């Protein structure tokens, strides 16, 4: 499988901010899950997708997994800086029923 995917993360108390870059496919999704599971006490994940313009269903299934884990512990996932295409994709796939969205990371940190 090919990917141009990379990510970096920052921890703010119990909030993890992950910024992605590139195609969120199986590898991209796995990397997000791996990064998230490194931080067991996190109850809020902010996913900054400013530099990710394309996502596929497999990538989405990984995101759903993260949402389910967070929701179980009364945590939440907030997507930020969404490209309109990705926002529409998430909306159709029903992700916003269980996750939130914000314009920027700062707005998500304050939500």
Partner 1 sequence: MVNNNLVEKLALQVESFQEGFELLSKSFSFLEMVKNFLHIIRGNFIITEIYSFHKLANDSNWSNISLKKIPDPSYSSFLHDSENPSLKYFDDPRIEVSITLPLADKTYLGILIGPKFDKSNFTDFDKITLQILLQVFDSAYKSFLNQKKEKALIFELNERVLHLNNLIDAGIEISRYDKKSDLYDIALARITSMTNASSALIEIVKKSQNNHKRYIVFPTGIDPDKILTSRFKMESSFEHNDRLYNFVLSEKETRHNTTAFNELDKMLLDAVARQVQVSIENQFLNDQAIEKEKMEQELIVAASIQQRILPTELPKIAGYEFSGINIPSKEVGGDYYNCIDLGRGKFAFIIADVAGKGIGAALLVSTLDAALYSYLQFDIPLTEMSDRLNKLIYKSSPSDKYITFFIAVLDSHTGELDIVNAGHNPIFLLRKDGTLEKLDAGGVGLGMFDFGIPFAGQKSIINSGDKLFLYTDGIPEAMNEQEEEFSDERMISFFQNNAHISSQEFINALVNDVKGHTGTAPQSDDITALILKKL
Residues forming contacts to partner 1 in the complex (CB under 8 A) are 1-5, 22-23, 25-26, 53-58, 61, 64, 68-69, 72, 85, 88-89, 92-94
Q: Token digits for 111?
A: 């939500």
Q: Which helix (H) or strand (E) holds 102?
A: strand 100-102
For partner 1, give the closer residue by CB, 58 or 109.
58
Residue 22 φ/ψ region, left for φ over 0, alpha for ψ in the -120 to 50 degree band, beta for the rest: left
Cβ-proximal residues to 82 (8 Å cutoff; 6+ apart), any chain = 49, 90, 101
Cβ closest to partner 1, residue 8 vs residue 57: 57
CB of 14 to partner 1, least distance (A): 20
Smallest separation, CB 15 to partner 1 (Å) = 21
């Amino acid at each position: 499988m090919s990917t141009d995917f990379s990510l970096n993360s920052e921890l703010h108390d119990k909030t993890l901010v992950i910024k992605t870059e590139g195609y969120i496919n199986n590898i991209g999704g796995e990397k997000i899950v791996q990064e998230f599971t490194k931080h067991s006490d996190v109850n809020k994940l902010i996913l900054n997708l400013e530099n990710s313009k394309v996502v596929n269903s497999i990538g989405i299934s990984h995101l759903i997994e993260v949402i389910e884990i967070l929701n179980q512990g009364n945590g939440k996932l907030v997507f930020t800086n969404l490209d309109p295409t990705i926002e529409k994709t998430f909306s159709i796939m029903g992700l916003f029923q269980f996750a939130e969205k914000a314009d920027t990371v700062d707005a998500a940190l304050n939500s």
